[in-house]
Amino acid sequence: MKTNVKSIVAGILLSLLVIRFFYSFAFPVSYQLFTLFLTYTACVYPGAALSDSRVKWISIETFVSLVIFHLAFLGLVYSPIWVALGFLLHGIWDMLHHPKIVKTSVVKWFPPLCAVYDVILAIFIIRFY
């Protein structure tokens, strides 16, 4: 339980730090940074799946990362709502790793931290872009 609280607080602080840094750039660069970062974060879990060497999870993790990449692309071309949806999807995917529904090797504190982080970024993007 203590790990989850620390992870949540760290996710909040990290998201606020990233928002402050990215938002310090003028639009459209600030928005493009959020979009690039979404595509970057989508690569975390396929990397974790590769460390497991389980083909089923590598395929699933890669598929989800490609969906998130596609949402980022749609966000650049059409609307920020797609980027926000990408962060929300990634946050949900994070939480599926926490109770080990998705069987890839990640440290216990990472999914809650990342889920909170992703949701805060999604809310920020919806609100300010």
pLDDT of amino acid 37: 95
Q: Using one digit for the tens of pLDDT, what is the confidence trace for 35-88? A: 999 999 998 888 878 877 777 788 899 999 999 999 999 999 999 999 999 999
Block residue for tokens 């919806």: 126
Residues 6+ apart with CB under 8 A from 50: 58
pLDDT of amino acid 79: 96
**16, pLDDT greater than 90:** yes
pLDDT of amino acid 1: 58
pLDDT of amino acid 35: 97
Residues 6+ apart with CB under 8 A from 112: 3, 4, 7, 8, 11, 94, 95, 98
Burial of 33 (0-12, 13-18, 19+ CB in 10 A): middle
Q: Using one digit for the tens of pLDDT, what is the confidence trace for 77-100? A: 999 999 999 999 999 998 998 777
